[in-house]
Chains A and B, each alone.
Chain A
Amino acid sequence: MSEKQQPWSLVGLTEAEYRRVVEILGREPNHTELHMFGVMWSEHCAYKHSKAALRRLPTSGERVLQGPGENAGVVRIDDDLAVAFKIESHNHPSFVDPFNGAATGVGGILRDVFTMGARPVASLNSLRFGPLDDPKQQELLRGAVEGIAHYGNTVGVPCIGGEVYFDESYRGNCLVNAMVVGVVRPDRIHKGVAAGPGNLIMAVGAATGRDGIHAASLLASAEFSGEEQRADLPTVPVGDPFAEKMLMEACLELFETGAVVGIQDMGAAGLISSSSEMAARGGVGVELDVRKVPAREEGMEPWEYLLSESQERMLVCVQKGREAEVEAICRKWGVGCAVIGRVTDDGMVRVLDGGTVVAEVPARALASAPVYHPEKAEPAYLAELRAFDWSRLPEPEDWNGTLLRLLGSPNIGSRRWIYEQFDHMVQGATVVGPGGDAGVIRLGAAVAPGAHELARQQPGADAPARPAPAGPPKGIAVSVDCNGRYVYLNPRRGTAIAVAEAARNCVVTGALPVAITNNCNFGNPEKPEIFWTFDEAITGMAEACEALGTPVTGGNVSFYNETSGDAIHPTPTIGMVAVHENLDRLTTPGFKQAGDVILLLGETRDELGGSEYAKVIHGVLAGDAPVLDLAFEKKLQQVVLRAIHEGLVTAAHDVAEGGVAVALAEMAIAAAPGARGCQVNLFLGRGRVDGQIFGESQSRILVTATREQVGRLEALLMVEDVPFKVLGDVTGDGRFRLAALAPGVESDSIYRRQELIDLSVDELQRAYEEAIPRWMGA
C-alpha cells in the first residue's frame, strides 16, 4: 500500500496522530469519524504547532471583556459600549481564486464578529502580492480587491483602512487578511457555547452543499507545490453577501429574544467544527442528524455534511421550546433554519444519518488535538544579511528623482485605486477613511449595537427614543500593520515594530491604543527555521504588547504559506484598536495652514536595513530591522496624545516607509488648500545622508503647530524629555523644499547646508497617485 492510500493521509493526519485517535476511541475510527478527526486536528482548526508559543502573549487587561478562544475578542469602550474585533486570513483560497477567496474571507470574519452579538461597523484588510510588473500579480490584486468590495459593499460595512505591500516573497503565495470591528453592549456578548441538555441545535442560514470540503485541512494546512492550483478550484467556496446580510440581521434580532444559548459560525470545517467546539466549551454533548440539515445537493454522505464549508451558515443552540420564535425571525429575513439536533449530557458528538448512528466520539477528543513543540533553528541567512556593508551603495545624485521614485513605488504611493472600490462611508460614521494613518469612525450615532430598529418599531407607534450621547463625539481608530521585511531581517524586533507602528498610527489621530488582534502568516512550521522565526515573532509581539499596554484578544495563524519550498516573508499582521475620546480633537496628516511650524519628534539614525529606499533604489534587502526602544515608544505616544488633546498640534503623521522625506511629502500631498508646500531643514548626524533622509528609524512622528502654540508644544516635549527638531514651516507656495544640514568635516558644531529636494507638490502628487494605476489602468 502506498503512502497516499493510508487512512490517515487521506484526511491529512500523520500516522502518530492516527494512532492517538485509535487510542482515545479504543477502536479504529470509522470513515465518518476519520474525516471528523482529520479536519478537527488539522493545523487550521487545532493550532497544534502554534498553541504553545501563543500562550506567551499577554491576553488580559482592564478593558478586555473577551480574550482569545472565542469567535472574536471584545474590549470595553465605556459602560454602554464594547467593540468585538478579529482578523483572519484567506491566503490559499485567494491565490487559487482571488475573487471568491477574498470575498469569502470577508464573509467569514464578518460572521465571527456578529456571532459575538456585535453589529459590524468597520472592516480593514491587509494584502500582500508579488511585484506588480507581473501580470499574474495584477490579476490577483484585481480579483482580491473586487472580491472584498463585492462582499463588504453589499453587506454594508465600511472598509476604513488597510495596507498592501508588493514583494517578491509573495509571488507564489499572496496574503489576504481581513479584519472586522463590531459594536456590542457589554452585557449582550454571545459566545460559541452549547449548554443545557435538551436544548436544541439549529442550523440557520444557507443550505449545505459539497463546496469547500477539506478546504481548511488540506488547502489551508499544506503548502503549494506550484502545480496543483487549477485542480484545487472546487475547494474554494463561493460566497453570497446578500445571504450574509440577511443572516446577520436575523442573528442580531435572534439575540434580542433571549432564546439563543450559544452560536457559532459554520466556517472552517463547517458543522463538525462548530458543533464539537460548542459542546467542548459547554462541557456537554451534541446529537445531530445530518438528514435534517437543509441540503442543496442530492446524495451527500454524512461526512460531507459535516465537513462542508458552504458559506453563510450558523449553528445556534436554542432554548428548548423556543424554536418557533427563531423560525419567525428567520422567515422575516428570508433565512433558512432547521432543528438538526439537541444538546446531551454525555459529552459525545453523536452523528445520526436518518436515525442511524454513523459517528460517536467524545467532543473533547475532537477539540484536543496534540500540541507540538516543533524544533527551532535560527536561519543561516540572518547572519549573512546583517553583515551587509552599506558603504557599497552610492548616495543618490538626483535627490528629486529619488523621492519621486519612492513616492511612485506601489509600497508607498496612494492606494486610492484599491480603496475607492470599497464602500468606506456607508453607515455614516467614517471620520477618517482609508489613506491616512488609521481609519477612524464615530461611535454612538447612526449605527447602534444589536438588532435592526425595525424589530423594535411597532406599527403605528412612535419611534423608540435613543438617548443622545453626552459629551464630545467619541470614536475608535483602527490600523493594520506589518512590514514583513523587518520581520524577515529580525523576527523579534520586526514584530515588535509592527505592534508599535500600528499603535503609533492610531495615536497620531488622537486615539489611545487598547488591544490587538493578530494574523500570523508564516511558512511551513515543520521546518526548524520557520518555526524559530515564528517563535521569535511571538516573543517580540508579547514584549511590545506588554510595553504598550495592548493585550492580544485573539487572532489567526496561517502556516504553510509556501510555494515550491519558498516561504513568504514572515508576516505577523497586527490589527490595533484604539479609543478616541474626543473627535473634536481629531488630528490628520495633511498640513493645515501656511505658517505652521513643522517638528520631528524622536531620533533619526542612519538606518537603511529593510528600507523601501534600499529595495527600490538599490535592489537591496539586507541589514537589520530598525532599532526599537519600547520604553521610548510608549513615552512618545503618551506625549503626542497629550499634545493632541491639549490642542497643541494641527497635523500629525507617523514616519514609516520612505523615511522622513516621504512622510513630509505625504503631509504636503494631503494638505488643505493654501497649505500645500513646505520648507524644511533636516539636521543630520554623522553617517549616510540617504540613511537619515530615507531611512526608516522607528518611534518618530511629524507634527505641525501654529506659531502661537509651538512654544507650548516645545515646552511639553522638553519637560517630558522627548527629543525633537524644528524642521521648518508649512508654506502655501506649492513647493516642497528640503535641505540637509550636515555636520562639517572639521567640527560637529559647524553645519553645512545642502539643498537636496525642490519639487512642486503637484509633481509629488502625480508620482504618488500613479503608483498603482500605472500597472492596473486608471
Chain B
Amino acid sequence: MRFGILVFPGTNCEMDTLHVLREVVGEEAEYVWHESRDIARCDAVVIPGGFTYGDRVRSGALACRAPVMEAVAEFADRGGLVLGICNGFQILAEAGLLPGAFRPNAHGRYRCAWSHVRVENAATPFTLACEPGQVLRIPVSHGAGNYQADPDTLRALEENRQILLRYCTPEGDVTPDANPNGSAGNIAGIVNRAGNVAGVMPHPERASERILGSADGRLLFASMVQYLTGRVIRV
C-alpha cells in the first residue's frame, strides 16, 4: 500500500514519518505538496507535525484551507484513512474533519517529553494492532496541545467510543499529573464518527524504533496497514 504524507509550508515532521513508513513499517510512502489536489495514488493519508505557516492565526488555521485539504476531505468522505499527528491533528480540527479545538498548554510552555497514553478503543483502523487498555510510550511535543470541546461533543466522543488515546501514568492510570497539556479528559487522540479520520497529539513516528527509546508508536501505523491490507506487522 502507499501512504501519502502531506507537506505544507512549515511542516517539519515529514522526513521522520516517511522514514518510519518506508523503512520501519515497510510500505510505500511519498510526499504530497500542499498545492496538489491529486491524492488518487494514496491508500492512506498522514498529516505530519510541524508549524504550518508558522502557526499564524492559530495552529492549523491556514493549512486547512490549502488545495490538498479539499482532496483530503473528499478522500475522507469516501472512507479513506486519514491520520493527523500533532499539527496534523490541529489541521484536521480546523478543517472540521474532527471535532474540538486546541488551546495553548495549560502550563503556558511548549513541552517536549515522553508521555504514556492508554488505548481506549482498540477496534478502530488506527488501533486494531493494540490491546484494549494497552499503555503506549510515545513522546509529545507541542505548545498548543490542550484539546477542548463543548460538553455535548465530549459526551458524544465518549458515547460513540471516539476517544482513541488518553494520557496516563506508566501504569495506565488516567490522572491529572499524567496530563501534559490540560486536555479535557486527558484526551490524546480521537477518531471521527465514521471511524476513518483520526488525530493524535503524541508523535508515533518518533517512537517507532527501539534505538529512539520506544517502538510503541509503530502500532498505530501497523494498525492502518493491517486494516487496509491484512498484513500483520510484528512490533
Contacts and interface: CB of A to CB of B under 8 A. Distances in A.
Contact of A454 (B22, B23, B31): B31
B51 A457 contact: no
Given A154-B55, A245-B10, A428-B205, A454 B16 contact: no
A419 B143 CA distance: 14
Q: Which size bracket describes the interface of B in this complex?
A: 35 or more
Nearest to A119: B15
Contact of A457 (B31, B107, B110, B111): B31
Interface in A16-44: none
Nearest to A447: B15
A431 B110 contact: no
Interface in B8-44: 9-10, 12-13, 15-16, 18-20, 22-23, 28-31, 33, 36, 38, 41
Contact of B41 (A155, A423, A460): A460
Contact of B211 (A149, A156, A457, A583): A583
B55 A422 contact: no
A462 B22 CA distance: 12
A760 interface: no
B70 to A, nearest CB: 18
A446 interface: yes
Interface string B44-63: 00000111011110000000
A726 B199 CA distance: 52
B110 A421 contact: yes
B155 interface: no
Nearest to B203: A425
B9 A421 contact: no
B206 interface: yes
Contacts of B19: 428, 445-446
A457 to B, nearest CB: 6
Contacts of B10: 154, 242, 245-246
B149 interface: no
A563 B86 CA distance: 44
A424 interface: yes
A420 B114 CA distance: 10
Given A154-B54, A426-B141, A463 B29 contact: yes
A385 B38 CA distance: 72
A425 B107 contact: no
A420 B34 CA distance: 30
B143 to A, nearest CB: 8
A246 B206 contact: no
Contacts, number: 115
B182 interface: no
B218 to A, nearest CB: 12
B82 interface: no
Nearest to A583: B211
Interface in A445-475: 445-447, 452-454, 457, 459-460, 462-463, 468, 473
A420 B209 CA distance: 21
B33 A242 contact: no
Interface string A93-115: 00000000000000000000000
B9 A334 contact: yes
B33 A454 contact: yes
Interface string A729-746: 000000000000000000
Contacts of A459: 36, 38
Interface string A113-130: 000000000000000000
B7 interface: yes
Nearest to A453: B31
Interface in B89-140: 107, 109-113, 139
B33 A420 contact: no
A778 B107 contact: yes
A166 interface: no
Contacts of B111: 420-421
Interface string A221-262: 000000000000000000011110110000000000000000
Interface in A412-433: 419-431
Contacts of B9: 242, 245-246, 333-334
A153 B41 contact: no
B46 to A, nearest CB: 14
A442 interface: yes
A445 B23 contact: yes
Contact of B54 (A240, A452, A453): A240
10 contacts: A154-B10, A242-B9, A246-B9, A424-B112, A426-B49, A428-B205, A428-B208, A431-B211, A431-B212, A463-B30
Given A427-B16, A428-B19, 5 more contacts: A154-B12, A242-B9, A419-B112, A420-B111, A453-B18
Closest 9 CB pairs of A and B: A156-B12, A242-B54, A428-B16, A446-B19, A154-B51, A446-B16, A423-B112, A421-B110, A425-B206
Interface of B: 7, 9-10, 12-13, 15-16, 18-20, 22-23, 28-31, 33, 36, 38, 41, 49-51, 53-56, 107, 109-113, 139, 141, 143, 203, 205-206, 208-209, 211-212
